[in-house]
Amino acid sequence: MATGKQIPCGPCSVDDVTKNAWRWCTSCEEGLCEDCENVHRRSKASRNHQVISIEDYSKIENVSISQVCGHHGENLEWFCKIHDEVLCVACVPSKHKACSDVVPISESSANSRQSALLFNLEETIEGTLQNVTLCIKNRESATKEFEKQEMAVKTMVLQTRTKINVHLDKLQEKLLYELRSTSQTCKSKYMKILHKLKSTEEMLNKLRDETKHIKQFSSDIQVFLGTRQINERIKQEVESIKNEIGAAKDYELKVSIHSLIEKVSNEVKDFGKIMVSESCANLDFRDPKFDQAQIDINVPTSRNISNINMIKLQLIKSFQMTSEHKLNITDCVILPNGHLLMTNHTKESILIEYSYAGDHIRDIPVVSAPSGIAVIDQDHIVVSYGDSLFLEIMNYINCNVEKKICVESSCIGVSHEDGRIYVLYDDRIHIMDLSGKPLETIKIESKGLSCIKVSKNKIFYADYKTNKVSCRLKGKDLWHFESDSIKFPYHTTIDSYQNAYVVGYKSNSLTIIQHDGKTSRTLLTESDGLMNPQAVYYDNDKRTLMICNEGGKVALYKVV
């Protein structure tokens, strides 16, 4: 081993024999000498175990991965797909007895090296490292600029000093002392955050190496658990550095020379005054993207980050949904737990749930053919049922319907924001609270409304007959957009910058319309696999775009 540390052979130690191991079994978690390794390989129970060299084991030896339940002290042997939680034998009956998708952890961890969670962890580490490196360069540059300002002030003081008499020597020294003291105070604040950033950089480099080694040499279960635990450490560190950066200040050093210093040498008591102006540090710390949160720290407003020419799509995963039922996907969402939920508008009357990795989780029976869907909170969704003339608010965790809301006509689309439900029918937008109480009705001049989406009080809707997409705010139309690239706009979704993504059912396209409604750009076409797209959803937290074709093909894209 590179460290020179000797690992004893586990089986030999049982027989009170001291022999050094030359291989390590990641499944048994013990060292093996050459003879025991041969026996281990021949045994039916252990022949498929992953065995690595002692040198490789040394790279993951100190990586802490707990395989024991923190609540019950039992080994973590089960995984609940519905709640995305690892469980021990005591967790299953106590909290997950009613869950239908509790499987052995060995089954769920089989492809953990190719999992989206591990991919996101590696992306998070790399992204955070880039953020920290840029922040370090920014602070170093700010420090150099500050030192230039300090030198300029000092030069100004000394040039002024040559014009006055010896009587001002003491005043000059007093001012220079104030300059040194003030400058040291400001620079010490710069050095404090630089130290924190470099410390974080060192930790992230270490975690990147550990993650790489876990991926290469650890067992599937260790990868599965290590991914989550390292991800938690990254979250904590990012939250810490977020607070540090949020409190960071830039200081501008200036000097104000007394207006009478050359005329009234005997009356002036101060050579000048050192002034420091504070402003928020110009640090752009981009969110490395965790499952739960988005980081946004002092993003400069001068950068037009909503410009659609800056937006690119990176394919994360695509898959074809499989079902014994006919598929006609009309709407989709990414749930708060990361799962994908689609409405299958057929007589079979089901919602279909998939994992982020593309694994089928369950079919959720509903009372009629579901048409539209929107997320309300961590546990609840609202579903519209088209010609059945009602909506349902349901808990998607236990599938209980908590509220049925009747409407007067066929519900084309549904959206939710801040406790308000927005529904399309009769060429009108109907707004109601979660109890179904009508709040407002908006008449729309349209020949065929197809979808609605609400974001930051702005209402976006599309007309499949005129191929127009519109945006409305507080009773006034902000813009109407029409383009040859959009034919039969079936569905739309909105990102955090109020850009609209529209799928054209007949044009087989995904088009982004800039927030002002003046420009657009086609992001995907039929050559990218779009064929009769009917549903699109943007997850602001994950910065992920989900597109569903009519026949059940699903594609997930990272929005860069």
Alpha-carbon distance 533 to 357, whole Å? 20
CA distances from 558 to 43, 272, 359, 549 (A): 45, 56, 19, 18
Comparing 115 with 88, the larger pLDDT belongs to 88
Helix and strand counts by DSSP (H, E) for the chain = 8, 34
**pLDDT per position as a tens digit, 114-156:** 677 777 787 788 888 888 888 888 888 888 888 998 998 888 8
pLDDT attached to residue 3: 45
Nearest to 346 by CA among 372, 370, 322: 370
Q: Which residue has the higher pLDDT, 497 or 305?
A: 497
- pTM equals 0.50
Choice between 269 and 197, residue whose per-residue pLDDT is larger: 197
pLDDT in tens, 194-226: 898 898 889 889 988 988 998 888 888 888 888
Is the confidence at residue 420, as pLDDT, over 90? yes
Q: How far apart are CA 49 and CA 6, in angstroms?
A: 22
Residue with token string 């708060």? 336
For residue 297, what pLDDT is reported?
30
Which pLDDT does position 292 carry in this prediction?
37
**What mean pLDDT comes out for the span 235-253?**
86
Instruction: Give percent of the chain with pLDDT exceeding 70.
Output: 89
Taking all residues of the chain, what is their mean pLDDT, rounded to a whole number? Answer: 85
Output the pLDDT for position 367: 92
- Based on C-alpha coordinates, what's the Rg of the chain? 31
Interval 155-174 mean pLDDT: 74
Tokens of 260: 């009478």
Report pLDDT digits (tens) over 483-531.
Answer: 988 999 999 999 988 999 999 999 999 999 999 999 999 999 999 989 9
Arithmetic mean of pLDDT, 341-353: 92
By DSSP bridging, strand 285-286 and strand 272-280 are unpaired
Strand, coil or helix: 522: strand
Reply yes or no on whether the pLDDT at 5 is more than 80. Answer: no
Give the pair of three-digit tokens for residue 235: 């979250």
The pLDDT value recorded for residue 36 is 92
Look at 11 and 303; give whichever has higher pLDDT.
11
Cβ-based burial of 499 (10 A; exposed 0-12, middle 13-18, buried ≥19) = buried
Lowest mean pLDDT among 91-100, 204-213, 347-356, 457-466: 91-100
Mean pLDDT, residues 320-328: 89
Q: pLDDT-derived band of residue 354, with 50, 70 and 90 as boundaries?
A: very high
Name the CATH topology of 308-559.
Neuraminidase (2.120.10)
pLDDT for 263 equals: 66
Helices 169-217 and 220-246, axial angle in degrees (round to 10)? 160
Domain at 10-60: CATH code: 3.30.160
Single-letter code of the amino acid located at 5? K
Q: Looking at residue 393, what is its pLDDT?
A: 95
Whether 458 has a pLDDT exceeding 90, the answer reads: yes
Indicate the domain borders of the chain. Answer: 10-60, 114-297, 308-559
pLDDT value, residue 401: 93
Q: What is the per-residue pLDDT across 102-112, written as a single tens digit (0 to 9) for each?
A: 888 878 777 77
